Amino acid sequence: MNSPLVNLIVFVLGGALAALVFWPGRGLFARGRRNRRLANRVALEDALKHVYNHEVREDACTLSSVAGALGVSSTRAVTLVDRMQRGGLLRLVDGRLLLTDDGRRYALEVVRAHRLWERYLADETGVDPVEWHERAEKEEHALSAEAANALAARLGHPRFDPHGDPIPTADGAVGAEPGVPLAELAPGQHGVLTHLEDEPPVVFAQLVAMGLYVGMEVRMDARSEQRIVFDADGRKIVLAPILASNVSVRRLQEPVVTPDEMATLAVLKPGESADVVRVSPACRGLERRRLMDLGIVAGTRVMYERPGLTGGLCAYRVRDTLIALREEQASMIGVTNIHRAGSPDRAGHKREPAQS
Partner 1 sequence: MSHERTTTGTGLAASPCAGCQHHVGNLVKLGVNMERFDYVVALAGNPNTGKSTVFNSITGLRQHTGNWPGKTVARAEGGFALGDRRFKLVDLPGTYSLLSTTVDEEIARNFILFARPDVTVVVVDASHLERNLNLALQVLEITDRAVVCLNLVDEARRHGREIDHRRLARDLGVPVVPTVARSRKGIDELLETIAGVATGEIVCRPHRLERRSRGVQQVVEGLSTEIAAAFPGLSNVRWLALRLLDGDTYIEEALRSGELVELAGNGVPVAQGTALQVLERAHELRWEIGPDFQDSLTEDLYAEAARLADRSTAIDGKRRAFDLDRAIDNLVTSRRFGLPLMIAVLTAVFWLTVTGANYPSGLLASVLIDRAQPLLHHLATAIHTPAWLAGFLIDGVYLATAWVVSVMLPPMAIFFPLFTLLEDFGYLARVSFNLDGMFKRAGAHGKQALTMSMGFGCNAAGVVATRIIDSPRERLIAIITNNFALCNGRWPTQILIATIFIGALAPARIAGLVSAGAVVAVALLGITMTFGVSWLLSRTILRGEPSSFSLELPPYRPPRFWHTLYTSIIDRTLIVLWRAVVFAAPAGAVIWLSGNVHVAGSSVAEHLIHLLNPVGILIGLNGVIMLAYVVAIPANEIVIPTVLMLTAMTAGAAGAGAGVMFEFESAADVRNLLAAGGWTVLTGINIMLFSLLHNPCSTTIYTIYRETRSRKWTTVATVLPLALGFAVCFLVAQVWRLLAG
The residue (of 51 and 116) whose beta carbon lies closer to partner 1 is 116
The residue (of 122 and 232) whose beta carbon lies closer to partner 1 is 122
The least CB distance from residue 194 to partner 1, in Å, is 11
CA dihedral in degrees (205, 206, 210, 214; nearest 10)? -50
Angle formed at CA 152 by CA 134 and CA 127, multiple of 5 degrees = 35
Interacting residue with partner 1 among 62, 189, 245, 300 (CB under 8 A): 300
The least CB distance from residue 8 to partner 1, in Å, is 5
Residues across the chain: 356
CB 322 within 8 Å of CB 335:
no
Question: In the window 270-299, what residues touch partner 1 (CB under 8 A)?
Answer: 278-279, 285-287, 289-295, 297-299
Q: Strand locations in the chain, DSSP E? A: 90-93, 96-99, 180-181, 190-196, 217-223, 228-232, 235-239, 247-252, 263-264, 272-279, 301-307, 313-318, 321-326, 333-340
Question: In the window 16-35, what residues touch partner 1 (CB under 8 A)?
Answer: 24
The least CB distance from residue 245 to partner 1, in Å, is 25
Given the rule CB under 8 A, which of 29-37, 107-115, 244-252, 310-318 is the region that contacts partner 1? 310-318
Please report, for residues 117, 222, 236, 257, the alpha-carbon distance to residue 247 in angstroms, rounded to integers and kept in the order given: 21, 16, 16, 23
- Nearest in space to 235 (alpha carbons), one of 216, 262, 255: 262
The least CB distance from residue 79 to partner 1, in Å, is 36
Burial of 353 (0-12, 13-18, 19+ CB in 10 A): exposed
For residue 166, the 8-state DSSP code is B
Question: In the window 129-188, what residues touch partner 1 (CB under 8 A)?
Answer: 153-157, 159-160
Asked whether position 324 contacts partner 1 by CB under 8 A, the answer is: yes
The least CB distance from residue 62 to partner 1, in Å, is 37
Contact positions vs partner 1 (CB under 8 A): 1, 4-5, 7-8, 11, 24, 121, 124-128, 153-157, 159-160, 215, 278-279, 285-287, 289-295, 297-300, 305-306, 308-313, 315, 319-326, 329
